[in-house]
Amino acid sequence: MQRNTLHDMIYKRNIGIHCGIPSYCTASGIVIEAALQQGKRFGDDILIEGTSNQVNQFGGYTGMRPADYKEFVYSLADKVKFPRDQIILGGDHLGPLVWCKEPEASAMAKARDLVREFVLAGYKKIHLDTSMRLGDDSVTEPLSTRTIARRGAELFKVCEEAYQELLKKDPNEQRPAYVIGSEVPIPGGEQELTDQIAITKPEDLHETIRIYQEEFEKQGMGDLFSSIVGIVVQPGVEFGDENIARYDRTETVALSKAIAQYPGIVLEGHSTDYQSPKQLKEMVEDGVAILKVGPALTFAAREGLYALSLMEKELIPEEKRANFIEVVEERMLANPKNWEVYYKGTEEEKALKRKYSLSDRSRYYFADPAIQAAIKKLCDNIDSVHVPLGLLHQYFPVQYIQVRDGKLSRKAMELVKAKVIDRIEDYNYATKYNYMIGDIFLG
């Protein structure tokens, strides 16, 4: 049977090797290409996940179904010469999330179709998320762990049936690894942070695992519970427009001790964006071995493109400029559905958030043809002229050092990807043993 990287990770942790894995949850071609490009450095396996609102059987907001997203990722891998067999494709928040306003019957029917399509397309890390209320659930009572687990087990059964179909075509097909859990932050971060984030209680962790095991038994799948490699928890990290709830390991001691009782399962942390490398490493040490990140990476890509746009104003005549920053603003104003309920305040405050919010709602617009055209024109403009080192120092201070030392070209898109790689390095430092013993930060 094909090697399962996530089970390998758990085995290594159980014998005392520090390791974890970052999960790059994004539909951004710039981010994915940067992650794959950096992954070549140590021959890493790279986990890339599409979220159900991005990618589903109806196309999601990207217009891609699971098989389309897979080919999209593979095309980028081929471009940077990254081996396809070192890519782990994941499906994030797979369940009735997109259809949560519908009653259970229709929402779960669509969720079953969703997970089946992901598994048949070859995705090997499946996050089953049934934590949300559906249209006919009580609006006054909390959704019970029993209901969440029952629905999750139903979806797992569909996944297993799809996997059996794959086995008929290839007896060596790897069984997907699954993540469960009800302590799930909304995709992309909170709109506003509260003063106190409720960290998952150990008793809730034990109850979730116990009830899921019972529901698997009811479905006749008790022997397959070992396919569950992770459980989503809230370890006290989150971010909003301009606030970051930072990880404090002193608050998660009990949770870390609780997960240690399950040697085959690790914790998965969502919304780990903007944590420091030290805090990310502490999370991995404390059992949060799968670190989801998304908006921080697209924020870095946007930051790099904005820097190029400001450089363009210095280097390119006005009539030839791409005016990328202005194009993004125009497209966001023309189609406000992806930011207007998230960004509050005066018109001036909302304008700043459209550009600089840590939740980076601008990422929903980067597939827009006008924005894609502006990116291409911007990069072509920058690549058509000589960029003085002093100007590079102004807008890309970290990358300036790499260019100065001959480690990075002055090509526009390489500069942008290097911005993203800076953030990826935080996660590599936190999760990879070879970063602990190597000299990556010494020159």
pLDDT tens per residue, range 410-434: 999 999 999 999 999 999 999 987 6
Identify the CATH homologous superfamily for domain 5-293.
Aldolase class I (3.20.20.70)
CATH code for the part of the protein at 299-430: 1.10.400.20
Residue 40 is classified by DSSP as T
Residue 109's CB: how many other CB atoms inside 10 A? Answer: 13
- Average of per-residue pLDDT values in the chain: 94
Q: Give mean pLDDT in consecutive 10-residue pieces for the chain, a chain of 443 residues.
A: 78 93 97 96 90 97 96 98 96 97 98 98 98 96 95 98 97 96 58 72 96 96 96 96 96 98 97 97 98 98 98 98 98 97 97 98 96 98 98 98 96 98 96 63 42
Which of helix, strand or coil describes residue 228? strand
Domains 5-293 and 299-430 are alike in CATH topology: no
pLDDT digits over 313-336, tens only? 999 999 999 999 999 999 999 999
- pTM here is 0.94
pLDDT score for 375? 98
The ranges assigned to domains in the chain are 5-293, 299-430
Contacts by 327-334, CB closer than 8 A, 24 or more apart: 327/370, 327/371, 327/374, 328/354, 328/355, 328/362, 328/365, 328/371, 328/374, 329/354, 329/355, 330/370, 331/365, 331/368, 331/370, 331/371, 332/361, 332/362, 332/365
pLDDT score for 296? 98
Q: Radius of gyration over alpha carbons of the chain, in Å?
A: 22
pLDDT score for 195? 58
